[in-house]
């Protein structure tokens, strides 16, 4: 078994685990924004915090194995892979999104949420669209420039 294939398998595994959480967390935010019950509010705060802290290591390990893949493929491959440059920009947006989730979590924690459940429903769709574009780029590898 080659290291390259191991890196690729672990990169995909941790990405799937990360996305399981990153898809569910904003859904919790939707329900949290809709609740007026103090008991439910407290429960959502715990669930959101635990979920975000649970999936964050998966986000970091996705990054680690992605970087190892780039190193394993080499500089010439990286320079010639224009699709990868676009993919990396989209991945950067996902990490910004992930960081934004920490800010939203803090807002709920301190009872400062200013967003409606509709906002969170739309917010919930952003990683879906980014993931679709990233997968299309990674599988199709279109020559972009």
How large a percentage of the chain has pLDDT more than 90?
A: 97
List own/partner pairs for 134-143 with CB under 8 A and 24 or more apart: 134/87, 134/90, 134/91, 134/94, 137/83, 137/84, 137/86, 137/87, 137/90, 138/83, 138/87, 140/83, 141/81, 141/83, 142/83, 143/82, 143/83
The answer to whether position 145 is within a domain reads: no
Q: Is residue 101 part of a domain?
A: yes
The predicted model gives 110-134 an average pLDDT of 97
Is residue 65 within 8 A of residue 14, CB to CB? The reply is yes
**Residue 9: inside a domain:** yes
The CA angle 41-42-48, to the nearest 5 degrees, is 85
Domain count, the chain: 1
CA distance 128 to 145: 25
- Neighbour count for residue 35 (Cβ, 10 Å): 13
Range with the lowest mean pLDDT among 3-7, 41-45, 86-90, 140-144? 140-144
Would you say residue 1 has pLDDT above 80? no
The answer to the question of residue 36 being in a domain is: yes
- The proportion of the chain whose per-residue pLDDT surpasses 70, expressed as a percent, equals 99
Q: Which domain holds residue 86?
A: 3-140
Asked if the structure places residue 103 within a domain, the reply is yes
Residue at 42 is within a domain: yes
Cα gap 141→138, rounded to integer Å: 6
């Amino acid at each position: 078994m080659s290291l390259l294939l191991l890196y690729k398998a672990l990169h995909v595994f941790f990405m799937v685990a990360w996305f399981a959480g990153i898809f569910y967390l904003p859904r919790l935010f939707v329900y949290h924004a809709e609740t007026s019950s103090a008991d439910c509010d407290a429960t959502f705060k715990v669930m959101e915090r635990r979920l975000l802290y649970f999936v964050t290591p998966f986000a970091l390990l996705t990054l680690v194995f992605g970087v190892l893949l780039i190193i394993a493929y080499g500089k010439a491959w990286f320079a010639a892979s224009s699709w990868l440059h676009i993919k990396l920009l989209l991945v950067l947006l996902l990490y910004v999104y992930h960081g934004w989730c920490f800010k939203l979590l803090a807002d709920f924690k301190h009872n400062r949420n200013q967003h409606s459940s509709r906002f969170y429903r739309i917010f919930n769709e952003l990683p879906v669209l980014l993931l679709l574009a990233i997968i299309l780029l990674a599988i199709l590898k279109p020559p972009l420039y």
